[in-house]
Every structure is written in C-alpha cells, then in structure tokens.
Amino acid sequence: MSKQLQVAAIQNGTVIDHIPNEKLVEVVRLLHLERLPNSSIMIGYNLNSEQLGHKSLIKVSNHYFSKEELDTLCIAIPNATLSIIEDYQIKEKRAFDMPSDFDNIVVCPNPMCITNNEPMPTKFHYCADKKVLKCHYCGKEVETDEVRFTK
Ligand SMILES: [Zn+2]
C-alpha cells in the first residue's frame, strides 16, 4: 500500500520539507511567498513526521529559489530538506549546506560596525567549529539562532 500524501504533488517546483512548526511563518516571510504571482503554493502545518513528530512543509510550483534565499534558509532552518521537482519526479533532494560566506544576508549586531554606519552590504563567515557567524569587518560573532536577517 502506498503511503498517502499529506499534501498534493506538484509537477515542477521546489519543496522545502522538515521545517520545524515554529519556523514556518518566518520561512514564509523570508522567502516572500506573497510575491510569487505565477506559483501555486501549498503550505502544510503540523503534519506528522517520523523524524520530528510534527513538521511543516512548503511546496512552490514553477519556482526555484535563488542562492541568496537558500543561504538564508541554511541559517533559519538548517535541518530542513530541499527538493527540486521536475515533471513530478524528484530531480534533486538534499540538506541545506552551510556556505562559508554570507553576503548581505545577516545584519551585524554591533552598532559600531561599519556596515551599520555606511550604505554597504554585510559579509559574514561561518565558523563551523563554533557554529557561529563572524562579521568580516568587525569580528563580532553571532549565534545562528540569534541572527537578524537583512530582508
Ligand atoms: Zn560587524
């Protein structure tokens, strides 16, 4: 017997799965889903999950997110999975991989930092050993779950 789908399949697009329930609204906001007029978007909240107990997921038809958007999700929902769907088939399924650099995604919490005083993009490096983001300009370290995003 095939497993029943909790949310309908899409023909082409992106599926973001294993989103913690409490992160769903933030992810919807970070991806600006309201600005995708050509996409059908299905959002599942509090679905059953073998791994998490409960989870949320988002299916977006006819849209593939930019590297910048996916890098943002690496920080917001590091344990979620990303699937690229083409013609109802999963073309690619993977975890979010943390990039080593984040360009203009994270706000520096240091008010003295040049990025908070000049009109310029921020830049952070990911330090895998400490699991923190470090400002390229002032060296301020930010825990990934305390990040404020630029958008
Ligand atoms: Zn800084």
Per-residue pLDDT of the chain (151 residues; tens, 9 = 90+): 445 666 678 999 999 999 999 999 999 999 999 999 899 999 999 999 888 799 999 999 999 999 889 999 999 999 999 999 999 999 999 888 889 999 999 999 999 999 999 999 999 999 989 989 999 999 999 998 899 999 8
CA 133 – ligand 1 centroid, Å: 10
CA 139 – ligand 1 centroid, Å: 6
CA 132 – ligand 1 centroid, Å: 13
Q: Specify the pLDDT at position 141.
A: 97
Q: How many residues does the chain have?
A: 151
Cα–Cα distance, 16 to 56 (Å, whole number): 9
CA 134 – ligand 1 centroid, Å: 8
CA 146 – ligand 1 centroid, Å: 15
**What is the sign of the dihedral through the CA atoms of 23, 35, 99 and 42?**
positive
CA 102 – ligand 1 centroid, Å: 13
Domain ranges of the chain: 13-95, 101-146
- Which residues are CB-contacts of 37 (< 8 A; sequence separation ≥ 6)? none
CATH number for domain 101-146, candidates 3.40.47.10, 3.40.50.720, 2.30.30.20, 3.30.565.10: 2.30.30.20
CA 109 – ligand 1 centroid, Å: 7
pTM of the model: 0.85
Query: Under DSSP, is residue 120 helix (H, G, I), strand (E, B) or coil?
Result: coil
Give the CATH fold of the 13-95 domain: Alpha-Beta Plaits (3.30.70)
Cα–Cα distance, 78 to 44 (Å, whole number): 19
Place of tokens 């330090």: 127
CA 57 – ligand 1 centroid, Å: 33
